[in-house]
Structure 1
Amino acid sequence: MSRTPSMLQDHLSELIRGQELPLPALDHLHVEVILELLQNAYTGIKADYHAAVSSGEEKHLNSLMVDRLNHLVGENSLASLLVRSVSRGTETKNYDATRFEMRPDIQISLTSRQHLFPLIVECKLIHIAKGKTVDLYCRDGLARFTTGDYAWTNQEALMLAYVRDGVSTTSHLSPFLEAATRRSPPEYAVVSLPQKCAVSLPDAARSEHGRYFKYVHGGQGGKLPGDIAVWHLWVS
């Protein structure tokens, strides 16, 4: 049985019940605490599971990351003030409910929000020699945030890259997105190119991107969601 427009409206209305979208932006310092948590989780699994980090599939790394993140949240009093729990592959829907059963790589449930509106982390391997390029990182990762597949209720999202050949946001991501702005039409709706953030971390940057879909539910129908800030953490 196909879903009618009315059914789609029902799903969206129930999801965003009582919420004004987009949700308020997270404090930058809070996001940086979460980036540090991700970095610490990766550093830990790299020390304990070197083979998985050096040659394992993305899904195996994501699973290890989620388990380690939940342990760290339980052990870190500051992190526990911000993060309720971390999950992997929890089913969600896109901005107009035409795509069901979407599964972001990692979802971070925050203490400041209902668990229905997690912070989304999309993960990608970067291994140029194996064809895991920055083009795939953007086309199959970053674009999910600009088109309204993921994080459409939020004003921020995270990208996590597992880097295997020494490249960085400065050497590869920034030039790629700069070139994307010169294409016709421009790609990835770049509002601002990646800028270094979380200076204590080896490779973290923040970019901003436009979003031109419109909310389609209730009193917010026709409203644009505004730009989204994407925080990129590249670990190696």
Structure 2
Amino acid sequence: MSLGVFEHRPKSLPPHPPVSIAVLLVVEDAIKVAWSIIRQLPANEFDLASADEDTITQKLHEVLIDELFDTGTVPGFNGDLIAKGTREEKLRSFNSKHLDKMPDLIFGVIGRDVYMRTQDGIFIECKPVDASHTAGVHCCDKGITRFVRGDYAWCMLSAMMVGYAADGYTIVPKLTDALRKSTTITTRVAPTKCSQSRPVLFSQGAHVSVHERNFSYVETGDPAPDIMLRHIWLNRS
């Protein structure tokens, strides 16, 4: 059987078109519901108080995919809108100098005609925030920086940061102060409450920040536009 001859169809160059706020809110809602489930697990099954970053993120991913995806629990969190999420998928940086960058979570969005499908989706980086994991070191230097320098989501105009927050740790002032003091991240818009995202039990309301990116696209030579980050901090206690 002949496979025929296919004409290569050139695609638009990066950056990709924005992901709609409606889709972002669906994923945020799913994360919040998943967190409420995790919070209710008995300590002998999962001890949130003592679990480290990787263990929490693994559990979050499992609950999102195994218990919530395509179940109808979270409206829109299904295969009609969202491609099943992956954890620590290996991807390349914007210039291919690094081939094994691993964002914590990625959710694809159905029906997008983009330059690179492998680099399209909602990229999520997760970090603990507490006395031993400061917002400056972990959220900024080990999280936001990866989006700014083109390790993650370099085709995208937005991404997410999820914080596993200890008691007393809130986006304002912890994250805002850390960004203000940062010498490596240029913040265009400090974290600001999203009017379409409300705090729920065990989850702070989403905040939005905008940051300058410090790389240019290999494909065009054009500087990458600013990236908008949505911050969701989930309360551990």
- Normalising by structure 2, what TM-score? 0.83
- 2:178 maps to 176
Report what 2:56 is aligned to: 61
- Give SS of 1:79's match: coil
Of 106-115 and 138-147, more deviation after overlay is shown by: 106-115
Q: Unaligned regions of 5+ residues in structure 1, if any?
A: 1-16, 181-185
Query: What CA distance in whole angstroms lies between the structure 1 residues aligned with 2:81 and 2:174?
Result: 31
Q: Hey, what does 1:73 align to over in structure 2?
A: 69
Q: 1:49 Cα shift? A: 5.0
For residue 206 of structure 1, the aligned residue among 171, 195, 208 is 208
**Normalized against structure 1, the TM-score is what?**
0.83
Deviation track 1:3-22 (CA, whole Å, cap 9, x = no partner) reads xxxxxxxxxxxxxx624210
Deviation of the 1:35 alpha carbon? 1.0
Query: Is structure 2 residue 144 aligned with structure 1 residue 146?
Result: no
For the 8 Å contact 1:203–1:235, the answer to whether it is kept is no
**Alpha-carbon contact 2:69-2:84 (below 8 Å) kept:** yes
Write the distance in 2 (CA, Å) between the matches of 1:49 and 1:38. 19
Q: Distance in 2 between matches of 1:99 and 1:52?
A: 35
Offset at residue 39 of structure 1 (A): 1.0
For residue 30 of structure 1, report the CA deviation from its aligned partner: 2.0
Give the structure 2 partner of residue 9 of structure 1: none
Number of equivalent positions: 210
What letter matches 2:197 in structure 1?
V
Deviates more, 1:108-117 or 1:33-42: 108-117
SS of 1:223's equivalent? coil
* 1:109 maps onto 2:104 in alignment: no
Q: Which runs of 5+ in 2 are unaligned?
A: 1-9
Query: Deviation string for 1:51-94 (max 9, x for gaps)?
Result: 43211011111111111111312113422143110111111010
Letter in 1 for 2:35: Y
